[in-house]
Every structure is written in structure tokens, then in C-alpha cells.
Amino acid sequence: MSRLVTRDPIDVARLTMEISDAGRGGTVVFLGSVRRSAEDGPVTEIEYAGYEEMLSRELAQILDEAHARWPNAACAAQHRLGVVPVGEPSIAILAAAPHRAAAFDACRFIIEAAKRRLPVWKHEHFENGTSQWREA
């Protein structure tokens, strides 16, 4: 199985393969990407820092909770840390199930829990050389 935390680009195709199965007809993938919004100013890059031991543990637990609620679904997740260029995903959540409703619900459950519980922070670097921690 893929690691839950990576410092490399997230390989979505590989994660999709991991949860694919002839019995699971619906697959939902969520990709959360570094977004450059108007109020951000000239961000050159964003660095994701995490409390890594807790991050892996918490993400594994969220996946366990999803499995308990949707036993027929297969789920996978990966969070990227380190510098993530604008436009590339920092998190990928995948859920495959025999029917699409469970796949959508499980995927949504996992990303909502991840946003609420994963110990990760964003360090923004600006063109003028300064940087700051972004509060969610």
C-alpha cells in the first residue's frame, strides 16, 4: 500500500489502481491543490509542514472510520508535505464502491475529517522574500 504521507508528487493513477476492483463500479477521487487566490499576493511556493507521526496515525484512523461506515468501499488517501507548486495536489482522497452513492459519501467524509483533524500547516513564501504561516 502507498504511504499515507509523501514528499513526492502524488501519483493518483497508482492510488486509483490500488482501490480498483471489478466489483466496485464507482470511484470518486478528491484532489486538493495549492490554490492561488486574489488575496494571497505573489506567492512563489507553499510549503506544507506536518506533525508527521500524528498525521499518519490520524489519516489511518480516518480511513478506518470510513471503512467501518462503508464496509463495501475501498478507500485510500495520501497527503504531500514539503514544497508543493501551485496547481499540484497536496492531498488525494479516493473511494471506490459497488455503487456511486457510497463512493461519494466515503470520499466526502474522509476529506472533511482530514481538513478538521490532520496536523498540517502551510508556510507561504512571497516574491519579496518574506514568508508567513497561513492560518486556515
Partner 1 sequence: MVFSYRLGPASAVITVHCRFFARYAEVLGRDSLELRLAAPASVADAVRELRTTLDRGAHLPERPLAAVNREHVPLEHALADGDELALLPPLAGG
Cell of 112: 472533511
Residues between 56 and 75 with contacts to a copy of itself, criterion CB under 8 A: none
The answer to whether 18 and 76 are in contact (CB under 8 A) is: yes
Residues between 83 and 112 with contacts to a copy of itself, criterion CB under 8 A: 86-87, 89, 98, 100, 103-104, 107-108, 111
Name the residues that contact partner 1, by CB under 8 A.
32, 48-51, 53-55, 57-58, 79, 90-91, 111, 114-123, 133-136
Q: Does 78 bind a copy of itself (CB under 8 A)?
A: no
> Cell 464507482 sits at which residue?
26
Q: How far apart are CA 125 and CA 128, in angstroms?
A: 8
The answer to whether 5 and 79 are in contact (CB under 8 A) is: yes
Tell me how far CA of residue 115 lies from CA of 25, 71, 109, in angstroms: 27, 22, 10
Q: Does 31 bind a copy of itself (CB under 8 A)?
A: yes
The contact set with a copy of itself (CB under 8 A) reads 12-13, 16, 20-37, 86-87, 89, 98, 100, 103-104, 107-108, 111
